[in-house]
A and B are shown apart, each in its own frame.
Chain A
């Protein structure tokens, strides 16, 4: 018998307006613990806006957002302590070393033994040898790996990735694939937006297509044959 695990992310009838422009139109979304969801869609579909609402960086105009049992925006602090966010910007200070950056974020998350945790995290992202180097001397790929380290420093249950591959070369992308796999393999729930269908297909266990502010289609890896993601994507956008 298949056991249905309770959703860790529940979004009901989410609406987001910026002035007269409605970006999200009654969006419903649910993610179970441990799922890796790829959120795909054309530019302007509302992917980043949706992720910023999940991250508590933006307030919903209407609707309900519950993450790990906490409601947004009223229980935002609880949600933030369960959430790690990686975007195409690294959210790191270039004039601080890798260790100082992680130390700062460890303090902001109230981690009691930051040094041990920083060593663990730097090992996870393969930067233990560069811990004392200034972030401004890092390549874009290394910065993105350190950004993932920053996002997992507090051991969050849910990870949000907003276009994490933007601006990375082929080698850096492959290295990031490895880090993303190990982050997901640790049992975290992951929601990732991307324009890179091939990478999403490799990593995700579920594919949701966001179009015109709503989820136009959704399919699990099992429901979708491997070669069909592009066709599924095109079909969802054509409807």
Chain B
């Protein structure tokens, strides 16, 4: 007598249900999560792991403080010159510290195979990109929040201006957007520590230049209309980098 395979499957599932408390045999408990739920899960996971280990933020913070200290002693600046170089020194510090964070954040996923764990989940791979980008941005912003008052004290420059904080946020978004994509590429190579800055800095030049110009203008007391060009450039680059990364991330992580 020919037996219907579907009936056999149903019978098999019933047997499984009787014989074990776990296996239901049809992945029935899986409901593909939305891109935003998966993104949120990755961000919360990264923040929880970092809160416990504090490896990444400590490294970025110590590095940032060392850089601004070195500049402070090396440049022996008077107050006027200090104001004019502040934007450059700040963004140099953020860019180098950000690279450290980007490298480490992706290396944690790669070294223990966790990137495969993420790629094996039935979620849109853009969720992995957004999750890692938002985590990297959060780490960078935490470091910036600590560095800014210390810089203000050391250089005697008031950095707590609404416009400047907005520019720092926009610059950090652009930098982490492109940095996360490139770190996903570089982490797959043996020379990832060297490769990331080599890939990232040329691509991030527009964001860094626009950020320095806009920050410098704001610190020099320029009108909003005077910094409109670098500000617009910054916003456009942020949008372009996020859109491009969203489109190509799938290809970057796939073999």
A residues within 8 Å of B by Cβ? Answer: 1, 3, 5-6, 33-34, 52, 55-59, 77-78, 80-83, 85, 87, 89-96, 100, 104-105, 107-112, 117, 120-121, 124, 134, 150, 152, 154-157, 185-188
Please tell me if the beta carbons of A104 and B41 are within 8 angstroms of each other in the complex: yes
A111 to B1, CA, bound (A): 40
Residues in B with CB closer than 8 Å to A87 are: 113, 116
A152 to B22, CA, bound (A): 9
Given the contacts A108-B38, A157-B27, A57 and B114 also touching, CB distance less than 8 Å: no
Residues in B with CB closer than 8 Å to A85 are: 116, 120
A96 to B41, CA, bound (A): 13
Given the contacts A59-B254, A110-B37, A156-B27, A105 and B121 also touching, CB distance less than 8 Å: yes
Q: B33 an interface residue at 8 Å Cβ cutoff? A: yes
Q: B123 an interface residue at 8 Å Cβ cutoff? A: yes
Please tell me if the beta carbons of A52 and B255 are within 8 angstroms of each other in the complex: yes
Please tell me if the beta carbons of B26 and A157 are within 8 angstroms of each other in the complex: yes
- How many B residues are at the interface, by size bracket? 35 or more
Q: B77 an interface residue at 8 Å Cβ cutoff? A: no
Q: B117 an interface residue at 8 Å Cβ cutoff? A: yes
Please tell me if the beta carbons of B3 and A3 are within 8 angstroms of each other in the complex: yes
Closest partner residue, chain A, to B114 (CB atom): A91
Given the contacts A34-B12, A91-B113, A117 and B20 also touching, CB distance less than 8 Å: no
Please tell me if the beta carbons of B20 and A185 are within 8 angstroms of each other in the complex: yes
Closest partner residue, chain B, to A183 (CB atom): B23
Q: List 12 A-B contacts (CB under 8 A).
A: A57-B116, A59-B254, A81-B27, A85-B120, A93-B108, A95-B52, A108-B118, A110-B31, A112-B29, A120-B21, A154-B29, A188-B23
Q: B221 an interface residue at 8 Å Cβ cutoff? A: no
A108 to B122, CA, bound (A): 7
Give the shortest distance, in Å, between B67 (CB) and chain A (any CB). 27
Please tell me if the beta carbons of A95 and B53 are within 8 angstroms of each other in the complex: yes
A187 to B24, CA, bound (A): 9
Known: A155-B22, A186-B20, A187-B25. 13 other contacts (CB 8 A): A80-B121, A80-B122, A81-B27, A81-B30, A91-B117, A93-B114, A95-B52, A96-B45, A108-B121, A108-B123, A134-B52, A152-B22, A186-B16
B residues within 8 Å of A by Cβ? Answer: 1, 3, 5, 8-9, 12, 15-16, 19-33, 37-38, 41, 45, 48-50, 52-53, 108, 112-114, 116-124, 254-255
Task: Pick the most buried of B3, B19, B33, B124: most chain A CB atoms within 10 A of its CB.
Answer: B33
Residues in A with CB closer than 8 Å to B21 are: 120
Closest partner residue, chain B, to A4 (CB atom): B5
Give the shortest distance, in Å, between B84 (CB) and chain A (any CB). 42
- Which listed residue (A56, A154, A185) contacts B27, Cβ 8 A? A154
Please tell me if the beta carbons of B117 and A155 are within 8 angstroms of each other in the complex: no
Please tell me if the beta carbons of A90 and B49 are within 8 angstroms of each other in the complex: no
Residues in A with CB closer than 8 Å to B118 are: 108
A162 to B37, CA, bound (A): 30
Task: Pick the most buried of B52, B113, B117, B119: most chain A CB atoms within 10 A of its CB.
Answer: B117
Please tell me if the beta carbons of B121 and A109 are within 8 angstroms of each other in the complex: yes
A11 to B122, CA, bound (A): 21
- Which listed residue (A57, A89, A95, A105) contacts B119, Cβ 8 A? A57
Give the shortest distance, in Å, between B110 (CB) and chain A (any CB). 10
- Which listed residue (B12, B22, B108, B119) contacts A120, Cβ 8 A? B22
A3 to B9, CA, bound (A): 12
Closest partner residue, chain A, to B16 (CB atom): A187
A152 to B24, CA, bound (A): 11
Give the shortest distance, in Å, between A182 (CB) and chain B (any CB). 8
Residues in A with CB closer than 8 Å to B30 are: 81, 109-111, 154-155
